[in-house]
Chains A and B, each alone.
Chain A
Amino acid sequence: MLDKNGIAKRIAKEVKDGYYVNLGIGIPTLVANFVRDDIEVEFQSENGVLGMGPFPFEGEEDADVINAGKQTITTLPGASFFDSATSFAMIRGKHVHLTILGAMEVAQNGDIANWKIPGKMVKGMGGAMDLVASADNIIVAMMHTNKKGESKLLKECSLPLTGVGCVTKIVTNLAVLEIKDNAFHLIERAPGVTVEEIKNATEGELIVNGDIPEMIL
């Protein structure tokens, strides 16, 4: 079974040379730590920066240089700043190659819910609805089950949707899965996790074709 860093490490393998990548808040942010050194990648943050670098050294924080999580950041050579409409032109216009974000629920038809729990949590969708409606290449990073142990991979989402039919790949603490033909297809198992355990943790329809390899991290 993977921890959050393990999930990030596995997703980092999906990041290819020359990609512009938008990372959501939470596990997705960790992906930047595991991208190979020998490829060129630029991270976009939707508040208006491309070429995001690591956190600043203490004493060098700048209130005018933050990421979408409102954290102080730095920029790398080649970086640029821009306004919010231009930022979403990059996203809506499919210039960003890969979007990695978290989710509360994903359905077997690719629906995703991650912005609202009625009566409990209403923080807003931020840029998530624009991201999932526009990107062709979306990876969801999340735990396979919630804190109560209930599956987050469902037949249908129970929470208000962020987007419809948009998720194609999911990396959880248990597995890598693809969504097609209205089902979750098991692609890889996390180290030490059995197909049976993944079946038990998946409420939606799970397709298991042949031997499922263990992921290489």
Chain B
Amino acid sequence: MINKKVNNVTEALKGVKSNMTFMLGGFGLSGIPENAIAELVKLNVRNVTCISNNAGVDDFGLGLLLQNKQIKKMISSYVGENDEFERQMLSGELEVELTPQGTLAEKCRAAQAGFPAFYTPAGFGTEVAEGKETREFDGKMYVLEPAFKADFAFVKAWKGDEAGNLIFKGTARNFNANMCGAAKITVAEVEELVPAGELDPNQIHIPGIFIQRIFQGNNYEKRIEQRTVRQRN
């Protein structure tokens, strides 16, 4: 067993510097790497580029880095629900590259899988395709989209073992699974870290080969953005 376990978030983020590009898993606030984000705030790295489907809310998730003005550029598909984000974007302090969600996921997966680029129909004929190579296949037009390049990927899983194998829960899998192995170093934080051999190999979602460092996270808030319920009859 190749051991990927590190003792804490400080060890896990060793080598993180200003001006780097980070991938961060999560959809909305579901499945975000809460511990890594808190450490990035603490390390106060500046001028970073963040690849993340959303930008958190004002006081949680990537919103914490935005408040601290640590982010130079965001690459996301949807950035509503965050007033500070909107203010920084409209004032020109923050650069924003809006990317269709499926393209965003595939740019991660392509980096993970060793594809330099891929063709997608998403965004053809819109401002997203401006300046990009296009090509026709079987009578339909496609846009060439390059794979992402990133220094660190920060992902969060439900369970993991010392070998770096990961199991996700519910819709918290989202971009987390696609970002594993898509950056130079992938750091996984988990709610429950177990010794190798305790997870059933049949149930592993992401094999440990894609992970460089894994640590037991703590104090997960797991905030709910839109609490919707129905009444019991």
Please name all residues of chain A whose beta carbon is closer than 8 Å to the beta carbon of B102 when the two chains form the complex.
Answer: 46, 84-85, 87-88, 91-92, 127, 129-130, 134
Taking CB atoms, residues of chain A closer than 8 Å to B204 are none
| Neighbouring B residues of A39 by C-beta, 8 Å | none
Interface string of A111-130 (1 = CB under 8 A from B): 10000000000111111111
Contact A47 B171 (CB under 8 A): yes
Known pairs A64-B169, A66-B28; list 10 more (Cβ under 8 Å): A65-B171, A81-B173, A84-B104, A84-B178, A88-B102, A122-B98, A126-B101, A129-B102, A130-B100, A165-B125
The answer to whether A14 has its CB under 8 Å from any CB of chain B is no
Please measure, in the bound complex, the distance between the C-alpha atom of A84 and the C-alpha atom of B28, giving whole angstroms: 13
Interface residues of A in 74-132 (CB under 8 A from B): 81-85, 87-88, 91-92, 111, 122-130
- Chain B CB within 10 Å, residue with most, of A57, A81, A133, A162: A133
Chain A residues whose CB sits within 8 angstroms of the CB of B1 once the complex forms:
none
Which of B86, B104, B122, B170 makes the CB contact (< 8 A) with A64?
B170
B106 at the A interface (CB under 8 A): yes
In the complex, chain A residues 124-147 whose Cβ is within 8 Å of any chain B Cβ: 124-130, 133-134
Given A47-B27, A66-B28, A84-B175: A129 touches B228 (CB 8 Å cut-off): no
Q: Is A191 an interface residue (CB 8 A)?
A: no
Task: Answer whether residue B80 sits at the interface, using C-beta atoms and an 8 A cutoff.
Answer: yes
Most buried by A among B124, B171, B173: B171
Chain B residues within CB distance 8 Å of chain A: 27-31, 53, 76-81, 86, 89, 96, 98, 100-106, 108-109, 120-128, 158, 168-178, 205, 222-232
A26 on interface, CB distance cutoff 8 Å: no
How far is it, in angstroms, between the C-alpha of A126 and the C-alpha of B105 when the chains are bound? 11
B224 (CB) vs chain A CBs: closest residue? A63
Please judge, given known A-B contacts A65-B170, A123-B80, A124-B78, whether A55 and B122 are in contact too, CB under 8 Å. no
A46 to B77, CA, bound (A): 12
Q: Mind listing 9 A-B residue pairs with CB under 8 Å?
A: A48-B27, A48-B174, A57-B231, A70-B226, A72-B226, A92-B121, A124-B77, A128-B100, A161-B127
Asked if A160 and B108 make an inter-chain contact with CB atoms under 8 angstroms apart, the answer reads no
Instruction: Check A56 against B30 for contact (C-beta < 8 Å).
Output: no
Contact A124 B121 (CB under 8 A): no
Is A213's beta carbon under 8 Å from chain B?
A: no
- Count of chain A to chain B residue pairs whose CB atoms are closer than 8 Å in the complex: 186
Report A48-75 CB contacts with B as 1/0, cut-off 8 Å.
1100001111101111111111111100
Query: Contact at A85–B105, with CB atoms within 8 Å?
Result: yes
Q: Is A164 an interface residue (CB 8 A)?
A: yes
Counting from the closest, the 5 A-B pairs by CB-CB distance are: A88-B102, A130-B102, A164-B125, A64-B170, A83-B177
Q: How many residues of A contact B (CB 8 A)?
A: 51
Give the docked Cα–Cα distance between A125 and B122 (Å). 11
Q: Encode contact with B along A137-179: 1 for CB under 8 Å, 0 otherwise.
A: 0000000000000000000000011111100000000000000
Chain A nearest CB, measured from B155 CB (Å): 11
B122 to chain A, nearest CB (A): 4
Q: How far is the CA of A61 from the CA of B19 in the complex (A)?
A: 38
Report whether A56 and B230 are in contact in the complex, using a CB–CB cutoff of 8 Å: yes
- Tell whether, in the assembled complex, residue B178 and residue A123 are in contact, meaning their CB atoms are under 8 Å apart: no
Min CB–CB distance A100 → chain B (angstroms): 17
- CB contact under 8 A between A130 and B103, given known A64-B170, A83-B177: yes
Given A84-B27, A85-B109; A129-B128 close (CB under 8 Å): yes
Alpha-carbon separation in the docked complex, A10 to B128 (Å): 33
Q: Are B53 and A84 in contact (CB under 8 A)?
A: yes
Measured between C-beta atoms, what is the minimum distance from B210 to chain A in Å?
12
In the complex, A92 Cα to B226 Cα: how many Å? Answer: 28
